[in-house]
Amino acid sequence: MLEAIKQRRYLIAAALLTIAVVLGTAYLFASKKSEPEYLSKIDRLMFDKKNLAPKYILTLPDRRKAPKIEVKKIIEDGVEVAQTGENPEPEAFDMGKFMASLAGALFAAVMAYAMWLMYRLLNRKRLEKDGRRIKNVIFDVGNVLVDYDWKTYLKDFHFPEEEEKKLAKEIFQSDIWNERDKGLYDEEEYIRRFIEKAPEYKKDIRRVLRETPKTIGTKDYAQTWVQYLKKRGYRLYILSNYSEYMLERTKAKMNFLKYMDGAVFSCDVKEVKPEPAIYKILLEDYGLKPEECVFIDDREENCRGARKLGMHAVRFHDFKQAAADLEALGVK
């Protein structure tokens, strides 16, 4: 849609420019002073029928200085054979030529519009063909189909500033948090590892981790979006880094799961993005061809991981942008 609006603007600008140029040319052409009729008579005056010798002498003044032509009187055998006459002033503007040029300009504009319509039709067919080539839409979950806002969540505890920064670093920004998504150990083991990083905040670490499902919120567009793509005939999948503890406590917020044809959560397969293994698991388990898949994720490194395996990828910033990027790939 956005691309079509841009193309329409270019077309209008080109059409206006074409009309302006042709109209300008038409005006100049119609305004050009035509050769006066008397010039065609000069030949008849200057030469006799046998085209042998001049019979009359004419003095043609500069048109820009005088509107008249002076024909000197020539006397032959006492008879005046020529006299001064008016120079018929040529028309300054030829309406017929102008209308003909205007018609040409309008014809050119119509042809330009017709060519644009043809281009649009052919381009639409190409996009539809590409869109049919993409049969599978694969979604990340966090910050794509659900909100994940640990910063606001942590602030709501109203810890002292120094403690808040420490907990942010040792919990949400730590490698342990990402390892937790792999699900290699039970939840108590991960809690122990977090506490080792900041033992002075042991009690608060347990409290923060216990309530981490509160970091997840719903997105208004999520269900409508996946439902729309489902009706359009696309197969839908989930590929997400998600801990077992969080998944068990937030699935109820994922009202879009019922539209999915399959899902791979990192905690279930013990692999995380952007490692190639988790993408391959999804492709192999559901028999998907990489070139027929488009993957949507909010992290660029995860998008790169998908592209390396031959999938299309769209980095998610917001719903409108992602929908436009999908449309550019023919998914609409």
* Torsion from C-alpha of 94, 98, 101, 102, nearest 10 degrees: -170
Cα–Cα dist 60/112, whole Å? 47
Widest pairwise Cα distance in the chain: 137
Going from N- to C-terminal start, the domains of the chain cover 2-32+94-129, 37-80, 130-146+218-325, 149-215
Cα–Cα dist 109/115, whole Å? 10
Residue-wise pLDDT for 152-179, tens only, equals 999 999 999 999 999 999 999 999 999 9
Q: Choose between 57 and 204: higher pLDDT.
A: 204
How high is the pLDDT of residue 319? 97
Please state the rounded mean pLDDT for residues 26-49: 50
Using alpha carbons, select from 106, 267, 96 the residue that is nearest to residue 178.
Answer: 267
The tally of CA atoms less than 13 A away on the side-chain side of residue 46 is: 9
Assess if CATH 3.40.50.410 describes domain 130-146+218-325.
Answer: no
Cα–Cα dist 36/311, whole Å? 74
The answer to whether residue 37 scores a pLDDT higher than 50 is no
Dihedral sign for Cα 97, 98, 102, 103, please: negative
* H-helix segments, the chain: 2-31, 37-46, 95-133, 150-155, 161-167, 175-180, 187-197, 202-210, 222-231, 244-250, 266-269, 276-286, 300-308, 319-328
pTM score, two decimals?
Answer: 0.63
Residue-wise pLDDT for 301-311, tens only, equals 999 999 999 99
C-alpha distances (whole Å) from 196 to each of 72, 144, 176, 189, 227 are 121, 32, 11, 11, 44
